[in-house]
Amino acid sequence: MDAAFWHERWRANEIGFHQEQGNPLLKAYFERLALAKGARVFIPLCGKTNDIGWLLANGYAVVGAELSEMAVQALFEDLAISPVVDELSDLRHYHAENIDIFVGDIFDLSSELLGEVDAIYDRAALVALPAEMRKSYSQHVVGIAQGAPQLVICFEYDQALQAGPPFSISEAEIRQHYSENYQLERVITVELEGGLKGAVEANEVVWLLKKG
């Protein structure tokens, strides 16, 4: 899987992963991060998620990273915000009050560009990446965010019955990626209504990752 795969998904509007009402699990469990109002939340591979609007409306600042510029442009249109756009060496930076979105390869995003963040919200990043990329992704994000706590939402299902993305992420894999840097809490497991893509039984799992 490469950048062309995701660019084509956005070009063809094949974005079944986009939730029009935002993610209810974010709204239910975001408070577990215990952030003060004004805290800055990093959303890797953010797309045009309506979770960003929810966070902004609730008094938080947001910084995101997204490969598709089409998605980022749609995000700002949905928010009715006119961003300033800066050209960086490998990325483009869309920004306005309380929101910064970096367009390009997330592995080109450094801690210096990202700036200080108070938490990471990962609903669509880890599950979007094939197995061979997930370890390098998780290490990169932990590094550039300097070990900020995370709220991670992922899927569990029989991968043999359904090709990803989104991919199934087991508890063992979560621990493999994050146990060196965090204390892990499996907050809740919820059956995915209608199954994954209507084809296979699946659960959504909320993980809270905090510094030990």
Q: What is the pLDDT of residues 162-192, one digit of tens each?
A: 999 999 999 999 999 999 999 999 999 999 9
- What confidence score (pLDDT) does residue 13 get? 59
- What confidence score (pLDDT) does residue 132 get? 94
Structural domains of the chain, count: 1
5 Cα distance to chain centroid? 18
Task: Give the model's confidence band at 6: pLDDT under 50 very low, under 70 low, under 90 confident, else very high.
Answer: very low
Q: What is the mean pLDDT of residues 103-119?
A: 98
Pairing of strands 40-44, 119-122: parallel
- What confidence score (pLDDT) does residue 126 get? 97
Six-digit token string for 166: 């989104």
The sign of the torsion formed by the CA atoms of 46, 48, 50, 54 equals: positive
Residue ranges of the annotated binding site are 10, 45, 66, 123
The DSSP annotation for 46-79 comes to: -TT-THHHHHHHTT-EEEEEES-HHHHHHHHHHH
> Which CATH number is 29's domain given?
3.40.50.150
Q: What is the mean pLDDT of residues 146-173?
A: 96
Q: Within a 10 A sphere around the Cβ of 13, how many other Cβ atoms? A: 9
Residue ranges of the annotated binding site for S-adenosyl-L-methionine are 10, 45, 66, 123
Taking the whole predicted model, whether its pTM rises above 0.95 is answered as no
Boundaries of domain holding 178: 3-210
- What confidence score (pLDDT) does residue 18 get? 43
Integer Cα distance of 131 and 59 in angstroms: 35
